[in-house]
Amino acid sequence: MSESQMTNLVSFSEGYGSQRSRFNFSPYVFVLPCALFAAALLFYPVVSSLALSFRQATVDTFVSGDMPFNGLTQYQAAIGDPVFWRAVINTVLFTVFSIVFQFTIGFLLALLFQFEFPLKSFCLALLLIPWVLPLLTSANIFKGLFNEAGLINQLLHLAGNRPIPWLADRQFALPATIVANIWVGFPFNFVLLYAGMRNIPVELYEAAKLDGADYWRRVFQITLPILKPVSVSVLMLGTVYTVKVFDLVWIMTGGGPANSTHLLSTYAYQVGFSILNFGEAAAIATLMVLLLLILNLFQLLMKPR
Amino acid sequence: MRQVRVAKFRRASLAIATLALLTLGASSGYTETTVEVIHYFNVEGQVQALADIQKDFEKANPDIKIKYTYVPFGELVSRTLQMAAVHKAPAIAAIDNPDVLRVAKSNILEDISQEVNKLPIWSDIYPGPKKAVTADGKAYGVPIGSNSLALYYNKKMLSEAGVEPPKTWQQLSDVATKTTKSPVYGIAFSAVNTEESTWQWEPFLWSNGGSLVDLTSSNAVAALQLWVDWVSKGLASKDALNWEQGDVASQFTGGRAATMVMGPWMLDAVKKSGVDFGIVPIPVPKEGAKPVVPLGGECWCVLKTNSQVEAAAMKFISFTEEPERLRKLCDTFNYISSVKNIAKQQGESNPQLVPFVEQMDTAKARSEDGGAKYPEISLATRTAIQRAVSGQAPADQALKESAAKINSILSKN
Amino acid sequence: MISGLSSSRWHLTAIVLVVTAILLSPFYWVLMGSFSTPAELFGTHLTLWPKRLAVENWSNALSRLWPHVNNSLIVSTTVSLCTLVLTVPAAYALVWLRPRGGKLLFNFLLITQMLPAIVFVVPLFVVFSQANLVNNLFGLALGDMTFTVPFALIMLCAYVKDLPYELVEAALVDGATQFRSFVSIVLPLTLPGIITVGIFSFLIPWADLIYALSLVTDETLQPLTLQLYKALGQYGIDWSFLLPGSVLTSIPAVLFVILASRFILAGVTRGAIK
């Protein structure tokens, strides 16, 4: 570290805990690169997308650049489309079920991995495979598994049941994609929660054990509360990412059969790239953010800042 | 802040670009033109064929360099539009024929009517492919090759069931019924939520006299009912709703389907699989009717860049369309040539291609139904297909709803 | 710290391996399929293991993918390091020092995470084309960072918040050795979080398709995922390339995680629940 950075650290610790009213340079130094990055590469796309949602941006106008302003037309078109609302419901169902299972499985695994045992890092890495495997492949594998002649129906057959046309049936297609999404997403929750649990000091557990608390009591009274910030972040990010899931559903069902498994992301893509109505796609994306904000409102208000 | 950074980049790259241009101009005696060709061909044989053409062309035209840019299949149109929007358009785009008119509407394709009339093969092109690239008397592309759909059948399965290869719908349903025996289905086709299902349905719709712009007609309803009945009677798997054409072929080669609706591009793969198969033209509604199949295949389109690049681009296109070279290209790409003469030659040297060649006389370009609006119309159509085949709605109701949507699409400007 | 008899340790390993096997069962299909021919994959009998191991699938996939490993490595490493450099200091500052506008930045980044990738890809393509950052590995890294930077900041803030207040205050109050105490006490406490975020910032670009698709058309610069995407041809999926290719693409990522996770496991031994 250089001289100036040492100096910064000095003022860093001086500002820490002291009067907030005194204007302090150093926190801004730490935050500046990140803020610059956000301004340069994140702000422009967000604003441009918002602008696009209010303009008629289709094949003809997009290239010439003179996309006429047409106000809320695209929003109205999107909201008036029953497929849009189907997509909203599907997105909410998809997200809620995925998150609940992913988080639970991830949490339980993280607990399990708090113990020391041989081959631990090997197993940790193995459990990341569902997340690391290219989505292209995972989606196609699950598509194959849920095929009429696929493995899952074969297992059902062995158990004496009739085969279910998973991906061809309106009732079963979305659950099939949810199962696939749980498989792909649990490692994310697992590893992040695991790292969070590593931080909890052993002394707290020792003390609780002395007090006579059993294992699960210790988990509920110590692990869960202390893990709250990490859990909230994982849940929040998990929700956001799940709402954005696109490739998985697109490859498995393409939004079908007959638009019954469209998520907002796949629907926006279809509008944007299959019929090249970029303006309406941008409107759908913005509505997606609104939906997410509503879903996250509770967590945002609760956010311990 | 962001603007400063972007402006800085612009200035820097402008400076670098100017420098580069100056040095280039100074060092070479003449200016070399680069013709960028954007495409989605990625099968081994196709890539090799393209490379060979590049080598021959550059040898014959030392002042032109060819640069191939591959993009994935579904991205070609949007990528071309994006590149044009930032003024970095490629010289040539190999566009799938139903998309040509839509891309032309965005005003990025050059009108090459004059140049194509100079091509010796132009007058010999089948009417179908020609319609796909012409609008208002202007030509926006040159077909590279065509393909369509026919019926592949498993010889062993049909003979075991005691049936002949079908010629009419009734015979086809009959064949399907007699060859369906778990785990084998009588027929396999694609009803997936992409262009592929509209494409696969069109032979049945059009051969029955229907049209995409009038889906409420009894011809259309009957054509869709055919598919609905196959699935509801168990002659075809409900998974057809999820199968792309590649999956359909896998079903056939894996011995899970007795017949399949497929095009010539699968010939090699099916041959390699060892299945003893035959091909007949698409069965027609009634004896003696002519099959009307949709046209597949890509077209060379020239984008608006500058006169030098466009001239070089046309040179390249004419080069590929020279009869002998075109013949070789079509054979490698598993196309039926869009040129009558060459197609007939192909049929003579490979009898399995004969059904496809025969169908070329009556084949129809997809964009005939709706012009630049075809992609949107196709989307509405396949929604109806999926709803009816999955049993969500009866065929006539599903078609009625989609027809309403199509009418509103057509009335928009 | 490690309680119980030494035999119970392998007991745990066995449980974990069983759980892992169950959770990873779809992956078995990937492995089995990678050694099969296309006809076998869709044949009428589902076998537990192909009759003949089609090793040529693997050698073919390896030769097609090997030239591109470098590209993916460069991009992922750059993204991971740059993301950490940008976000680690920012996270500490945002949580402890609470500068004005910090909450705004945080919430803005959260909102950007809510937008689908296509919203970013198209405008970035436009800007990058003009800045000559298209067909440029650093440009691709910047593009990927639009996803990893917000993610990293959000997670790191949570990990930093996790630190017991008293510990941090105690470590930093001692004027003479604050830098040393920062490095030796505060940093190690958040190291698991930092490493984890670094790992994900490596893995996310490794698996990225959409940014690479738009920003890199030059064949020689393409990362592994784009090469794999070629398996989705016009005519259907080339399973004999996709399956072994996917495993091959995943191997470096898994190796990286094994290496890096030692830092999470070995570094801080304080966090075990007993």
- Average pLDDT over every residue of C63-69: 90
Which residue in C44, C131, C229 is closest to B254 by CB distance?
C44
Residue C36 and residue C77 in one domain? no
- Average pLDDT over every residue of B373-398: 92
Tens-place pLDDT, residues A122-156: 888 889 889 888 888 888 889 888 887 777 887 88
- Shortest distance, CA C8 to any CA of chain A (angstroms): 8
Token pair 């909890």 is found at A200
Q: Given a cut of 50, is residue C216 above it in pLDDT?
A: yes
Of B186 and C1, more confident: B186
The verdict on a CB contact (< 8 Å) between A254 and B193 is yes
* Cβ atoms of residues B315 and B142 within 8 Å: no
Which residues is B301 bridged to in the sheet? B93
Domain segments of chain B as ranges: 28-143+298-334, 150-294+367-411
Distant-in-sequence, close-in-space partners of B374: CB < 8 Å, separation ≥ 6: B98, B101, B102, B212, B366, B367
| Structure confidence at residue A301 as a pLDDT band (50, 70, 90) | low
Q: What is the DSSP string of A58-109?
A: SHHHHHHS---B-TTHHHHHHHT-HHHHHHHHHHHHHHHHHHHHHHHHHHHH
**A12 close to C (CB below 8 A):** yes
Distant-in-sequence, close-in-space partners of B63: CB < 8 Å, separation ≥ 6: B30, B31, B32, B33
The verdict on a CB contact (< 8 Å) between C236 and B6 is no
| Structure confidence at residue C265 as a pLDDT band (50, 70, 90) | low
The verdict on a CB contact (< 8 Å) between C264 and A194 is yes
Asked which of C14, C30, C58 is the last residue of a domain, the reply is C58
ipTM (interface predicted TM): 0.77
- Shortest distance, CA C23 to any CA of chain B (angstroms): 26
Residue C68 and residue C166 in one domain? yes
The verdict on a CB contact (< 8 Å) between B75 and C213 is yes
Of A130 and A278, more confident: A130
- Shortest distance, CA B268 to any CA of chain C (angstroms): 12
Percent of all residues in chain A with a pLDDT value above 90, rounded to a whole number: 15
Q: Given a cut of 50, is residue B26 above it in pLDDT?
A: no
Q: Given a cut of 60, is residue B25 above it in pLDDT?
A: no
Q: Which residues on chain B are in Cβ contact (under 8 Å) with C127?
A: 6
- Report pLDDT for C267: 40
Q: Which residues on chain B are in Cβ contact (under 8 Å) with A40?
A: 1-2, 5
Give the closest residue to B259 by CA, choosing from B138, B112, B157: B157
The verdict on a CB contact (< 8 Å) between C235 and B247 is no
Residue C169 to residue A237: CA distance in whole angstroms: 29
The angle formed by the CA atoms of residues B216, A255 and C238, to the nearest 5 degrees, is 110
Residue C105 and residue C46 in one domain? no
Which residue in B40, B183, B245 is closest to C44 by CB distance?
B183
Residue C23 to residue A186: CA distance in whole angstroms: 10
* Tokens matching residue B205: 């719709």
Which residue in A12, A33, A134 is closest to C228 by CB distance?
A134
B21: amino acid identity, one letter: L
Residue C142 and residue C209 in one domain? yes
Of the listed ranges A24-28, A127-131, B397-401, the least confidently predicted one is A24-28
CA distances from B285 to A211, B165, B166, B180 (A): 84, 15, 11, 21
Of B25 and B298, more confident: B298
The verdict on a CB contact (< 8 Å) between C162 and A45 is no
Ranges A63-72, A263-272, B297-306, most confident: B297-306
Residue C6 and residue C29 in one domain? yes
Question: What is the interface size between B and C, counted as CB pairs within 8 Å?
Answer: 81
**A28 close to C (CB below 8 A):** yes
Which residue in C117, C163, C253 is closest to A132 by CB distance?
C253
The verdict on a CB contact (< 8 Å) between B9 and C237 is no
Q: Which residues on chain B are in Cβ contact (under 8 Å) with A275?
A: 375-376, 379
Q: Given a cut of 60, is residue C29 above it in pLDDT?
A: yes
Q: Which residues on chain B are in Cβ contact (under 8 Å) with A149?
A: 183, 239, 256
Range of the domain at C51: 2-58
Q: In this structure, is residue C169 part of a structural domain? A: yes
Which residue in A12, A132, A198 is closest to C250 by CB distance?
A132
The verdict on a CB contact (< 8 Å) between C169 and A16 is yes
Residue B385 to residue B13: CA distance in whole angstroms: 51
**A199 close to B (CB below 8 A):** no
Asked which of C33, C58, C83 is the last residue of a domain, the reply is C58
- Report pLDDT for A9: 40
Tens-place pLDDT, residues B320-341: 999 999 999 999 988 999 999 9
CA distances from B62 to B35, B128, B302, B316, B387 (A): 12, 36, 21, 12, 56
Q: Which residues on chain B are in Cβ contact (under 8 Å) with A36?
A: 1
Of the listed ranges B210-224, C45-59, C139-153, C163-177, the least confidently predicted one is C163-177
CATH 3.40.190.10 for domain B28-143+298-334? yes
Ranges A72-76, A298-302, C44-48, C202-206, most confident: C202-206
Identify from A59, A147, A262 which residue to disrupt to test chain B contact, counting B C-beta atoms within 10 A and taking the largest count: A59
Q: In this structure, is residue C274 part of a structural domain? A: no
- Report pLDDT for B24: 47
Which residue in C125, C217, C234 is closest to B73 by CB distance?
C234
Identify the chains in contact with C, defined as 3+ C-beta pairs within 8 A.
A, B
Domain segments of chain A as ranges: 3-52, 73-302
- Report pLDDT for B156: 93
* Tokens matching residue A163: 């085969």
* Cβ atoms of residues C193 and A199 within 8 Å: yes
Q: Given a cut of 80, is residue C266 above it in pLDDT?
A: no
Q: How many CB atoms lie within 10 A of CB C147?
A: 23
- Shortest distance, CA C130 to any CA of chain A (angstroms): 14
Of C237 and C269, more confident: C237
- Phi, psi of B134, rounded to the nearest 5 degrees: -120, 140
* Cβ atoms of residues C258 and C199 within 8 Å: no
Q: Given a cut of 90, is residue C32 above it in pLDDT?
A: no
- Average pLDDT over every residue of C163-170: 70
- In chain A, residues 59-98 whose CB comes closer than 8 Å to chain C: none
- Shortest distance, CA B81 to any CA of chain A (angstroms): 6
Could you give the number of structural domains in chain C?
2
- Average pLDDT over every residue of B363-376: 89
Of C38 and B272, more confident: B272
Which residue in C122, C133, C219 is closest to B82 by CB distance?
C122
| Structure confidence at residue A11 as a pLDDT band (50, 70, 90) | very low
- Report pLDDT for C274: 31
Residue B256: closest C-alpha in chain C: C44
Residue A59: closest C-alpha in chain B: B106
Of B157 and C12, more confident: B157
- Phi, psi of B290, rounded to the nearest 5 degrees: -100, 135
Of B311 and C95, more confident: B311
- Report pLDDT for A19: 36
- Average pLDDT over every residue of B56-72: 91
Architecture of domain A73-302: Orthogonal Bundle (1.10)
Which residue in B108, B183, B390 is closest to A170 by CB distance?
B390
Identify the chains in contact with A, defined as 3+ C-beta pairs within 8 A.
B, C
The verdict on a CB contact (< 8 Å) between B5 and A40 is yes
Of the listed ranges A67-76, B9-18, B276-285, the least confidently predicted one is B9-18
Q: Which residues on chain B are in Cβ contact (under 8 Å) with A177?
A: none
The verdict on a CB contact (< 8 Å) between A28 and C99 is yes
- Report pLDDT for C143: 92
Tens-place pLDDT, residues B117-172: 999 899 999 999 999 999 888 999 999 999 999 999 999 999 999 999 999 999 99
Which residue in A136, A244, A278 is closest to C242 by CB distance?
A136
Identify from C235, C238, C241 which residue to disrupt to test chain B contact, counting B C-beta atoms within 10 A and taking the largest count: C235
CA distances from A47 to B302, C108, C120, C265 (A): 34, 12, 10, 42
Q: In this structure, is residue C126 part of a structural domain? A: yes
- Report pLDDT for B274: 87
**CATH code: domain of residue C73:** 1.10.3720.10
Residue B70 in 3-state DSSP?
A: strand
- Shortest distance, CA B121 to any CA of chain A (angstroms): 31
Of B21 and A102, more confident: A102
Q: Given a cut of 90, is residue B283 above it in pLDDT?
A: yes
The verdict on a CB contact (< 8 Å) between C46 and A230 is no
Q: How many CB atoms lie within 10 A of CB C198?
A: 22
The verdict on a CB contact (< 8 Å) between B41 and C234 is yes
- Report pLDDT for A10: 39
The verdict on a CB contact (< 8 Å) between C158 and A145 is no
Q: Domain B150-294+367-411: what homologous superfamily?
A: Periplasmic binding protein-like II (3.40.190.10)
- Report pLDDT for B31: 75
* pLDDT mean across residues, chain A: 81
The verdict on a CB contact (< 8 Å) between B69 and C43 is no
pTM: 0.83
- Report pLDDT for C269: 39
Which residue in A43, A260, A274 is closest to B379 by CB distance?
A274
Residue C133 and residue C42 in one domain? no
The verdict on a CB contact (< 8 Å) between A274 and B5 is no
Q: Given a cut of 70, is residue C43 above it in pLDDT?
A: no
- Report pLDDT for B4: 53
- In chain A, residues 122-181 whose CB comes closer than 8 Å to chain B: 143, 147-149, 165, 167-170
Q: Given a cut of 80, is residue C272 above it in pLDDT?
A: no
Helix (H) or strand (E) holding C233: strand C232-233
Q: Which residues on chain A are in Cβ contact (under 8 Å) with B379?
A: 270, 274-275
Which residue in B6, B79, B250 is closest to C127 by CB distance?
B6
Q: Given a cut of 70, is residue A82 above it in pLDDT?
A: yes
For B107, half-sphere exposure in the C-beta direction (CA atoms, 13 angstrom radius) is: 9
**A238 close to C (CB below 8 A):** no
The verdict on a CB contact (< 8 Å) between B193 and A253 is yes
| Structure confidence at residue C12 as a pLDDT band (50, 70, 90) | confident
- Report pLDDT for C80: 95
The verdict on a CB contact (< 8 Å) between A44 and C97 is no
- Report pLDDT for C41: 67
* pLDDT mean across residues, chain B: 88
Q: How many CB atoms lie within 10 A of CB A245?
A: 23
Q: How many CB atoms lie within 10 A of CB A151?
A: 17
Residue C50 and residue C115 in one domain? no
Residue B27 to residue A260: CA distance in whole angstroms: 61
Please state whether beta strands B134-135 and B138-139 pair in parallel, antiparallel, or not at all (unpaired): antiparallel
